[in-house]
Amino acid sequence: QVQLVESGGGLVQAGGSLALSCAASGRSFSSTVMGWFRQAPVKEREFVAAISWSGGNTYYVDSVKGRFTISRDNAKNTVYLQMGSLKLEDTDVYYCAAKYGSSRPPEAEYAYWGQGTQVTVSA
């Protein structure tokens, strides 16, 4: 069992930056593949980014490449999503997720989910 708690969401101006954190507890964090997803009301959940257990491999959806950076600190049992050059369309609830196994495919097969944190980008 893995418990995930996101933090860092809030209101930010378009073009600005925001950093999200996800703290994990329970089973070994260092052996997990970690991902970030986002979802708006009445829309499907969208894969955003993922990182392998060692941090050696990262993956991003095309719409955030060059703007978002996923990272992890296994000593702190925490994964981060640094978001820059934010756009109005980045407004969503962002979810942290974890799985054991391969980082490929990076967008699928996650078994554990956080409660979500709201990110709102204003004009």
Q: What is the DSSP letter of 77?
A: T
Task: Supply the pLDDT for residue 31.
Answer: 82
Residue 25 has φ and ψ, to the nearest 5°, of -145, 165
What tokens does 39 get?
Answer: 């979802």
d(C-alpha 115, C-alpha 97), whole Å: 10
Rounded to whole angstroms, the Cα distance separating 72 from 82 reads 11
Dihedral angle over CA of 119, 111, 65, 102, nearest 10? 160
Give me the average pLDDT of each 10-residue run along the chain (123 residues).
94 98 87 94 94 93 98 94 98 96 91 96 96
Determine the pLDDT at residue 71.
97
Containing 20, the helix (H) or strand (E) segment is strand 18-26
